[in-house]
Amino acid sequence: GAVVSQHPSWVICKSGTSVKIECRSLDFQATTMFWYRQFPKQSLMLMATSNEGSKATYEQGVEKDKFLINHASLTLSTLTVTSAHPEDSSFYICSARAGGAWGYTFGSGTRLTVV
Amino acid sequence: QQQVKQSPQSLIVQKGGISIINCAYENTAFDYFPWYQQFPGKGPALLIAIRPDVSEKKEGRFTISFNKSAKQFSLHIMDSQPGDSATYFCAASTGRRALTFGSGTRLQVQP
């Protein structure tokens, strides 16, 4: 149980275009989802906390107009990187708290490359 | 975010040996301390977790030791195997808030 599905696994886009990443909780309802960014050989840095039916809470330094987060249902949160630039290239990972013994479950991540 | 300090940055262990990774925290409100394993290009996978009312937890070859007074916790991997070669992250959280991650330890188990 407690599976989080993240798509796509990797995406290449041209500079200036937008990319959407989906994160779904498959067997539980996630009222809260978290989005992280991870640069090579570095740790996971929290970008934002996504709450179902309300606006996301962004960490300091994260541009909310560039990284649009939507959490329209209890099983789906999306991250849209708008007007992507090469410096946005990174590994993006979502997470949801399933509760109980499962704690926080992570998606498999999305490798974004902006060319 | 409150910091969680992790050491060492990298670790090389012989097959069958014990791998030990340490973490320290400052925020006494943290009430959940998990360890995650991450392979290249994959998301982190939960290995084992502990709450502050327990000093030790063991699951298979993995053991968490927790020292509340020192605000430290560690991961011990017994009988380390080449398949354990990965990056390991400690983390901590309060309530239902997001996890705060340590900087990671790259473990290499040599055959």
For residue A99, the model assigns a pLDDT of: 60
CA distance linking residue B73 with residue A110, whole number of Å: 30
Identify which of B45, B46, B98 has the shortest CB distance to residue A46.
Answer: B98
In the predicted model, is pLDDT for residue B2 greater than 70? no
Q: Judge contact between B63 and B76, C-beta under 8 A.
A: yes
In the predicted model, is pLDDT for residue B1 greater than 60? no
Tens digits of residue pLDDT in A30-46: 888 999 999 999 999 99
CA distance linking residue B14 with residue B109, whole number of Å: 5
Q: Judge contact between B33 and B22, C-beta under 8 A.
A: no
In the predicted model, is pLDDT for residue A28 greater than 90? no
Task: Identify all chain B residues contacting A104, using CB atoms and an 8 Å cutoff.
Answer: 34, 46, 93, 99
Q: Judge contact between B86 and B19, C-beta under 8 A.
A: no
Q: What is the mean pLDDT of residues B56-72?
A: 96
The answer to whether the Cβ–Cβ distance between B99 and A102 falls below 8 Å is no
Beta bridge partners of A113: A12
Q: What is the mean pLDDT of residues B72-97?
A: 96
Nearest CA in chain B to A96: B98
Tens digits of residue pLDDT in A71-109: 888 899 999 999 999 999 999 999 998 766 557 899 999
For residue B11, the model assigns a pLDDT of: 97
Half-sphere exposure of A50 (CA within 13 A, CB side): 30
For residue A63, the model assigns a pLDDT of: 94
For residue A24, the model assigns a pLDDT of: 95
CA distance linking residue A24 with residue A77, whole number of Å: 7
Beta bridge partners of A61: none
Q: Judge contact between A43 and B89, C-beta under 8 A.
A: yes
DSSP B81-108: -GGG-EEEEEEEB-TTSPPEE---EEEE
**Which residues are CB-neighbours of B60 under 8 A, at least 6 positions away?**
none
Q: DSSP letter for A54, please.
A: S
The answer to whether the Cβ–Cβ distance between A104 and B93 falls below 8 Å is yes
Q: DSSP letter for B44, please.
A: -
In the predicted model, is pLDDT for residue B68 greater than 70? yes
